[in-house]
Amino acid sequence: MFKYKKTTAFLMSLLICFSASANSVFAEETTTETTVETSTESETVAEEEQTEETSEEESEIETVTSGDFTYSVTDDGTVCIEGCTSMETDLVIPESIDGMTVTELGETAFGNTPDQIYETISIPATVTYISEENPFMYCRELREITVDSANENYISENGVLYLKDKSILLCYPPTKEGDSFEIPEGVIEIGTAGLYDTKLSEIKFPSTLEYIGNFGVGGNTNLKSADMGNTVINLLDSGSFSECTSLSEVILPDTLVEINLIAFMNCESLEEITLPESLTSVGQSAFMGTAMKKVHIPDSVTDIGYSAFGYSDEETAVDDFLIIGSYNSAAYTYANDSDEDYDYSNNFEFTTPEAAEELEEYDSFEKQMYEDFEYTVIDGEALITRCWSSEAKIEVPSEIDGTPVTRIYTSAFGNSTAEEIIIPESVKTIGKLVFYGCASLKNLTLNGAETIGESAFAMCDALENITISGNCKTIEGDEPFVSCKLLQSINITDGDGEYSSENGVLYNKDKSVLLVYPQSKSDKEFKVPDSVKEIGMSAFYKNLYLETVELPKVEKICAYAFEASNSLKKAVLSKNLKTVEFYAFADCPCLESIRVYESTDVIGDYAFGYKFDSAAAESGETTSEDNMVTVDGFKIYADKDSSAYNYAKACDIEVVSGTVELFGKNVVVGFLWAVAGIIVAVIAGIAGFFIVKNVKKKKKENKKEK
């Protein structure tokens, strides 16, 4: 998960140091592939190795000092300025030194400490290369850069240095007058420290901008807003906005793919940010030291660096920091990740976007108490937001102080210990997860509910009976009762809603779809009504008792419909059946065979003849598909070359063709023909006997008459 974990301690310390004082961090470009170490030992090793590398590099470069300048000679015999000791505030770079043309400005051309006195610097036409690591970054008094108009590689406009075609902004002088700057259209890149530590409080970014380099806009303590929404930026490199202490608003473009380490570190006024769906990577400490208390991380993000979110410094986590994202995502992993080797453990609160939105809504309510009920009044109607009752039986009032109770809010009864809950007819809306985790709840009556939210009954492990208003129009979610393992009956009262029931089984209004057959309904045999054309998703999931089911007119069986029905021995499919979706009869250990007719032309993965391999799953070395294995001895009876026949062959399941079902038994067609032949012969023999006998009788009668 954390491929950056504590990115090379030496590099990290340099990055942090420069963000505060602009030292030599830019000697090496930082990338997301950097490996992180933070132990004292590894810091020491890293520093020693870096010192040795630097010494070797310095010893390889032969420099000469001439007057105020130190230089090296390039391969083509020209001068690269490596240092300057001039005390002139208005510095003019000469065209030549010691008879050689000046063509390059090295990384430390104007010093390597942030105490340089230069206020203006003039660049001659001869300069063809300026180090990408920005040799001006230590000139903290600089207010203007000028370039000879004859220079073919660089240009200055209003004291700001660009490449000649103005595709890259190289340096905006730190003390340049003015508090607002509009970067020209056509600029694709802000170079290393290109707009670092300026007086600007407003920066307008061009639509052409694709990249902001290391500390490109860092250290701008007056900058309050950074609207990049109209740009095409794909990468914000290391420290790109670090130390912008007044920055309170950031708008990122929907083209952004990567935010590198410490990109917004110590932006202490930044309370929130919206990460785009295009984003895939957030580097180490990217938002460390901000004022953020929560962050929504989109599912597109697959890599998150150590301390990227929720840390005030490298060791201190922000209290009650909230991560918002999807379960099984990088966001969820980050919220709970730990590593003993690095002695850290994230223990952040985690929630989904939907739940976070509802939590924000809940916090906005002006809540009151009535007995054990917390409620709020909206548009003259009472909304129950929470029930604090510890009673075994709870009856929700139909009105509070003359105000009708019409809604129950999300999770209002969550984890209640009540055994029975009665909701009055006045309540028309039941929110999401309202009864979540009511582990003691056995009986539930919803007298007037027209809308029941998603997962309202999730984890109601003891729920046995539920009565729902006949006026109910919506029960949200594909599997509303899937976790109610003791459920015996669902009853719908009379009304003009969208649901009906019969003998405790839930259907849609006209009984064309069977929605839920309760898991603990104890009947061993069940014949689906002829009106039913579809079996809903997970409709019979994990039923404990059903042994035989007949589906006389069913045309579609949805996914997981009979999955894990442990007692199911026989399923009689319809000759009208067209579709059987994935996992429909998976993990039914007692089901040894099934007959599928030629009309069935769509069969999903693992629909028949598979079981769940718990041993493989526990090993943790397989995918969810690998955990499904074929059932030994399972047979499919199907016509040759039918969809069911081809499914069996593809899955290496035994398939038997050339049979018909007769009195509940599969009989070979050839045998039937043989039996039929014998029967025909016997009938023919008997008929012949009587015919002969009749002929003899006639002859005898005729003879007698004569």
Report the CATH number at residue 408: 3.80.10.10
562 lies in which domain range? 522-656
- Contacts with 662 (C-beta within 8 Å, 6 or more apart), sequence order: 672
Q: Do 378 and 471 have their domain in common?
A: yes
Residue 183 within a domain: no
361-364 — which CB contacts under 8 Å span 24+ positions?
A: 362/409, 362/410
564 within some domain: yes
- Report pLDDT digits (tens) over 513-546: 999 999 999 999 999 999 999 999 999 999 999 9
* Per-residue pLDDT at 26: 32
| Same domain as 538, residue 619 | yes
Per the DSSP assignment, residues forming a β-bridge with 81 are 71, 105
Q: Report DSSP letters for 157-196, one per residue.
A: ETTEEEETTSSEEEE--TT-S-SEEEPPTT--EE-TTTT-
* Number of Cβ within a 10 Å radius of residue 292: 19
**pLDDT for position 375:** 97
Residues of the chain falling short of pLDDT 70: 1-60, 616-626, 661-682, 684-685, 687-706
DSSP assignment letter at 57: H
Say whether both 648 and 674 belong to one domain: no
Residue with tokens 């919803």: 446
Q: What strands, in cross-sheet order, belong to the sheet with 489-492?
A: 393-395, 420-423, 443-446, 465-468, 489-492
Q: Judging by beta carbons within 10 Å of its beta carbon (0-12, 13-18, 19+), is residue 185 exposed, middle or buried? A: exposed
Residue at 324 is within a domain? no
Dihedral sign from CA coordinates of 23, 26, 28, 34:
positive
Flag whether 12 is in a domain.
no
pLDDT value, residue 265? 98
Of the candidates 579, 529, 544, the one whose C-alpha atom is nearest the C-alpha of residue 559 is 579
The single-letter code of the amino acid at 365 is F
Residue 419 to residue 443: CA distance in whole angstroms? 7
Is there a single domain that holds both residue 672 and residue 643? no
In a shared domain, residues 652 and 545: yes
- The answer to the question of residue 185 being in a domain is no
Quote the DSSP letter at residue 275.
P
Domain-located, residue 341: no
Choosing from 127, 148, 169, the residue where a domain stops is 148
- Is the same domain home to 404 and 497? yes
Q: 75 to each of 69, 80, 128, 395, 548, how far by Cα in Å?
A: 19, 10, 14, 90, 89
* 232 found inside a domain: no
The pLDDT value recorded for residue 624 is 57
Residue that finishes a domain, picked among 130, 148, 166 = 148
CA 209 distance to own-chain centroid = 28
pLDDT for 299 equals: 96
- CA atoms of 487 and 69, how far apart (whole Å): 87
Residues 501 and 475: beta-carbon distance below 8 Å? no
In this structure, are 556 and 488 located in the same domain? Answer: no
Q: How far is CA 354 from CA 74, 301, 320, 325, 359, in A?
A: 62, 18, 19, 9, 9
Domain boundary among 630, 656, 682: 656
Contact 660, 616 (CB under 8 A): no
Quick one: tokens of 424? 């009055």
Q: At what angle do helices 9-21 and 40-60 cross, to 10 degrees?
A: 70
What's the pTM?
0.66
Q: Are residues 556 and 433 in the same domain?
A: no
Assess whether 422 and 533 both reside in one domain: no
pLDDT number for residue 706: 57
Task: Please count the other Cβ atoms lying within 10 Å of the Cβ belonging to residue 603.
Answer: 24
pLDDT tens across 411-456, in order? 999 999 999 999 999 999 999 999 999 999 999 999 999 999 999 9
Are residues 492 and 537 both part of a single domain? no
Q: Check whether residue 376 and residue 497 sit in a common domain.
A: yes
Is the same domain home to 537 and 640?
A: yes
Instruction: Taking the CA atoms of 563, 567, 569 and 572 in sequence, report the sign of the dihedral they define.
Output: negative
Q: Structurally, how many domains does the chain consist of? A: 4
Helix (H, G, I), strand (E, B) or coil at 520: coil
- Whose structure tokens read 């065209």? 95
| Residue 568 belongs to a domain | yes
Cβ-contact 262, 286 below 8 angstroms: yes
